[in-house]
């Protein structure tokens, strides 16, 4: 039995209250390095708390606000509720 691939979406499209796993960062190397230093590295678990133009997220126990452009550059896979 083969499972369907988990779709990726930008972090800004993750519904509030849901958790996703960072799978890929887009943008220039400076941006990617800064965002990794903030805790949004590949494989990090991120819970979106709220937001549309600004995304308030919980990553590594810290609340971090990202503007829409930054949240668009962080691609996540949506995790099922049981995987959180």
36-67 residue pLDDT tens: 999 999 999 999 999 888 999 999 999 999 99
Query: Is 26 a member of any domain?
Result: yes
Q: Is 64 helix (H, G, I), strand (E, B) or coil?
A: strand
**How many folded domains does the chain comprise?**
1
Q: For residues 23-35, b (16+ Cβ closer than 10 Å) or e, as one string?
A: eebeeeeeebeeb
Q: Which domain holds residue 52?
A: 8-83
Q: Residue 84 — very low, low, confident or very high, per pLDDT cuts 50/70/90?
A: very low
Q: How many CB atoms lie within 10 A of CB 18?
A: 15
Query: Is 3 a member of any domain?
Result: no
25: domain CATH number is 2.30.30.90
- Residue 3 has what pLDDT? 63
pTM greater than 0.75 (yes/no):
yes
Query: Is 34 a member of any domain?
Result: yes
């Amino acid at each position: 039995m083969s499972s369907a691939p988990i779709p990726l979406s930008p972090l800004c499209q993750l519904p509030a209250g849901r958790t996703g796993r960072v799978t890929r960062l887009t943008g220039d190397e400076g941006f990617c390095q800064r965002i990794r230093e903030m805790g949004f590295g590949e494989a990090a678990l991120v819970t979106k708390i709220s937001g549309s133009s600004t995304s308030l997220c919980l990553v590594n126990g810290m609340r971090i606000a990202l503007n829409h452009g930054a949240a668009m550059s962080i691609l996540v896979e949506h995790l099922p509720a049981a995987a959180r």
